[in-house]
Structure formats: structure tokens, C-alpha cells
Amino acid sequence: MKPIFQRSALALCHAVFAACCLCPALAPARGAAAELWVGAATADITPDRPIPLTGGTAVRIGREIQNRLTANVLALESRDGQRSLDQAILVACDLCVIRPGIQEGFRKHLAGRLPGFDLGKLVLAATHTHTAPVILQDRYDEKDYEDAMQPKEYVPWLYEQIGEAVVKAWENRAAGAVAWGLGHAVAGHSRRVVYSDGSVRMHGDASVPEFRGIEGYEDHAVHILCFYDARKRLKAAAITLATTAQAEGGSKVSADFWHDVRRLIHARHGAEVSVLGFCAPAGDQTPRAQVRRKSEMRMCEFRGLTYSQEIGRRVASAFEDVAGVIAKDIRTDVPLVHRAVPLELPARIVSEAEYAVARKVCEDIDAKQTPAKSDRWTRTLYGSVADRYLAQQKGEAKTYEMELHVLRLGDVAIATNPFELFLDYGVQIEARSPALQTFLIQLAGASREHAYYLPTPRAMAGGALNDKPFTNYSATVMTNMVGPEGGQMLVDRTVATIQELWKD
């Protein structure tokens, strides 16, 4: 893996970030009740030309737009008169992943354009739609991009689009209000199917006699934050639920079910409302159910909806239901505190056996006269395993660096991580959090390295790395930079940081 930016530049960014975040003047110990200022804006991040779509083993060229990709921006500031007490800018992007270097590059792009805002408190998060542009140039073979917009062209354009929205949101912030609530929507399903021999397969066949169950839990909570202007008109909504935006897929550009959520909310509350769709820890979840698929599709047919529209309907219904209820409890004088903590997690160690498997796969691919289209993807992943092992042997690559953002907003905690974090970790954080509601956001701004999946011990038991990349996919070393040891540390540090914000 090659980072987009030079390590030296990144190191500088990290140093500035850490200094900003740890500076007591900018990060008060606890937010006193103060005036909440809210700004919001939306950027269209859909280029009007063919784009390579990410999230698959081979590149797909998106030549048609099913619906438009957006980035929705929320700017928050806690103020005491003219004094800024704390601040945050959260951006929910219809992208698959905020790849390494993208968040840092975007902060750099914004340098000097947001007077009074600490760029270390800006967070980009992805909804994980797999029908959005590739944003790393070397993700696939350049010739496979054909006539489509190259990632190296898309990323600067993306920065421009989101940048304008961020500036707009920051500039239009004004005294406002917030309300929070909890609803439910059956949107995410555990996707790891367990068989009688103990093996696990993502989206495995549940109709075979060896099927024994679904590996883990599901969480159908929908956490909702509504932000209002001074006249209590809805200005923005943040919605967090434990599923990725992968209801449909295909080769048309699409924001997946978030498009449908926004469409329904806009129809009710106005097109100017920014709707931030966040993905809670859901490394083992997707909208696709492992059982009952035919009957679900029959119900979609009755409704005249696609599955993506159906998921959108459920989430938007939960939103409407909750928004109506919490309108009775709108707050203006809530504490806002934002901690941004650099964190180093122990890396998942590559074993010698795993190294041997990876090296063999790479050698076999390298020896091919005519590689398959997916070989680049496979080679990259296995190659990374081999590289990590060699780096380990030299005493390097023992940790994974990330930014942990934790916010307190009234009775609500918000905490981020860059992984596809298995749900159990999210459940732990929520259960141990002292906040009334804990909004968790995964796929938020990876730092230097890919974050990939962060699995549980039980997921790892579903199968070891072999030459078939989809064996126990999401829980082998191939797609885990960090394993359960680091996962537990992430949970403990996140909980501890939230607890800090609830002291007294």
C-alpha cells in the first residue's frame, strides 16, 4: 500500500493535529451549558462523466447515474457570547471508504479557508456505498479505468466540492437547537453464516443442511439527532445505524439506501435539510438478510419498491416517528465538547504460516502469463500480508495509528473509528457508555494505512487465511490490520474518553 501523501507531510499533519487536539484552550475539560451554533450544507459529489466504481475485486465503470452522491456537512460550535468553547465539523460522504490520506489531504485543502476552526476537529465518514468512485489511483490497474474519470482527477474535484460545502456550513452556522432520540429500523443484518464444521462464510448459503446459524448479533436501533435553526425549523439530521449502504450494488452510480432516506426526509421537511447518514459499527453487517430473502422481495414487489428503497423507507419511517416525538424536547443550551485523540492500536500480527500462504499466492499470480481481472486486487491484499510480515520481522508495523474523535453533545456521545468494526465492539461501547445515547460512527477518516475490518475473536475462529481470499473473509489477517486485542483497546479507550466527558 502506498499512501497518497509523503510520510513526512503526514507526520507533520499528525503533529499539528495532536497539538491542536491536546491544547487545553481549544479542548475544554467539559462543556458548560452554552449556546449551540449549527451550520449545515450539502455537496454534490457525483461527477457528470463515467467513473470507476469501488468496492469490488475488479473495477466496474459507472456510466449511468441511478441517483446522486452527496456529502452532507454539519458544523457545530458551542459559544459563550463571542467566545468559541468547542467545535466540530462532521461530513457524511456517499463513498465506500475514506481511504488513507484523504482526510489529511482534505484538511490541507481547507487550510486557511475556515477562520476560527481547528481543522483537527473535522471528520470525514463514509456510508460505504459500493457504487461510488474509486479514490485511490493504485487500487486497480490504471488501464481498467478506461475512459472514466481517474481517481487522481476525482480526488481534487471531490475536495473542491466538499470544501465549498464545509466552508458554507461553517459560515452559515447560527444559534440553533438540537434534539435526540432513539428509533428502530430493521436495516442491518449479520452477514456471517456459520456451518457445522465451524467455518464461516460472508453471505454464505443458509439453505444447506450444514447451516447452523448466524455468527453474531444484530442491532436495529436508529440513533437520531435533529438540528434546528433559531425558529425550530429542521436544518440538519444525523442518523446512525448499524449497517453499511450496500442494499443493492450494481454498476450504476448510487448512494444506495441513503438516497432514499434523504428523498423521503426532503419530501417532508424540505430539500435544504442536510441529512448525514452514518454507519455505526457494522463490520459484520449489511442490509441483505441471510434468510427470508424471497419473502422480503415479495413484500418489496407488493410495495413497488426496490430493496434499497425499502430500507430507505424503514429508516425514514423511524426518523419521522422519532422526530415527531423528540420535538417536545428540543434543547439550545447543551454542552458541546470534542476530544480528538491520536491512538495507537496493536497491529494484528501476521504469522509465519500466513506469510507462507500470502507469498505463495503472490508468486502464483506473478507467474501468470495472462492474469485475471481480479488478480490485481488479490495480489494487493496478499502482497500486503507478506509485506507486513517482513516489516514485523524488522521490528516495524507493530501498531496502527488512528484518530479517535469523541464528542459530547448534551446527553449524547458521538465516537468515531476508521474501521469496519464488528458490531460486538459497538455494543460494548454503547453498553458501557455513561451517555444517554451513544452515536458510533465507523469508517471515519483512516490515517496513514487502510483500516479494513476489525473482527471479534469468534469471527477469527471461523477460518484461517488460505489461498482462497473469501475464506472467512473479513476476519483473516488479509483484511485485518488490527485484531481483537486492538479492538478491545479501542473499546476501552473510547469508553474511557466518553467517561471523561461525563465526569461530574
Partner 1 sequence: MRCLTRLSILWGISVALAGLASGGLAAGAELLIGGATTSITPDQPIALDGQFHTRISRGVDNPITATAVAIEARQADRGADQAVLVSCDLVAIRPVLLSALRQRLAEKLPEVDARKVIFTATHTHTSGVTEEGKYEIPKEGVMQPSQYVTFLADRLEQLIGNAWRARRPGGVSWGVGHAVVGYNRRAVYANGTAAMYGKTDRPDFRGIEGYEDHGLELLFFWNTGEQKPLAVAVNVACPSQEVEGGSKINADFWHDVRQQFQTGDYKDVLVLGWPAAAGDQSPHRMYRKAAEQRMLKLRGLSYTQEVARRIVGEINEVCGLVRNDVRTDIPFVHTVEDVALPVRKVTEKEAAAAQAEIDALAKKGGAARRQLWQQKVVDRYRQQDKEPTLAVEVHALRLGDVAIVTNPFELFLDYGVQMQGRSKALQTFVLQLTCGSAGYLPTERAVKGGGYSAIVASNRVGPEGGQVLADRSVEMINSMW
Q: Which three cell numbers stand for residue 322?
A: 422519532
Q: How far is the CB of 461 from partner 1 (least distance, A)?
A: 11
User: For residues 166 and 114, what is the distance between their CA atoms, to the nearest angstrom?
Assistant: 9
Q: How many CA atoms lie within 13 A of 186 on its CB side?
A: 5
Q: Which window, 66-74, 225-233, 318-326, 344-352, contacts partner 1 (CB under 8 A)?
A: 318-326
Binding mask 321-340 for partner 1 (x = CB under 8 A): -x--xx-xx-----------
* Terminal CA-CA length for the chain: 45
Q: How far is CA 202 from the centre of its chain?
A: 19
d(CA 99, CA 452): 10
Task: Write the CB contacts of 269 (distance below 8 Å, at least 6 apart in sequence).
Answer: 234
Of 41, 414, 427, 446, the one binding partner 1 (CB under 8 A) is 427
CB of 325 to partner 1, least distance (A): 5
Torsional class of 53: left (φ above 0), alpha (ψ -120 to 50), beta (otherwise): beta
| Gap between the Cα atoms of 196 and 339, Å rounded | 45
User: How far, in Å, CA of 34 to CA of 43, rounded?
Assistant: 29
Which CB, 367 or 431, lies closer to partner 1? 431
Distance between CA atoms of 305 and 264, rounded to whole angstroms? 13
Site track for partner 1 across 386-425, x = CB under 8 A: -------------------------------------xx-
Q: Does 308 bind partner 1 (CB under 8 A)?
A: no
Tell me the closest approach of the beta carbon of residue 315 to partner 1, in angstroms: 12
Specify the residue, 141 or 411, whose C-beta has the smaller distance to partner 1: 411
Q: What angle do CA 226, 175, 317 make, to 5 degrees?
A: 10
| Interaction between residue 207 and partner 1 (CB under 8 A) | yes
Of 376 and 408, which has the nearer Cβ to partner 1?
408
Among the residue ranges 164-172, 200-208, 258-266, 382-390, the one whose residues contact partner 1 (CB under 8 A): 200-208
Cβ atoms 161, 44 nearer than 8 A: yes
For partner 1, the closer of residues 262 and 314 by Cβ is 314
By the rule CB under 8 A, 212 interacts with partner 1: yes
Residues that bind partner 1 (CB under 8 A): 181-186, 190, 206-209, 211-214, 216-218, 220-221, 290-292, 294-296, 298-299, 302-303, 314, 322, 325-326, 328-329, 423-424, 427-428, 430-432, 436-437, 456, 492
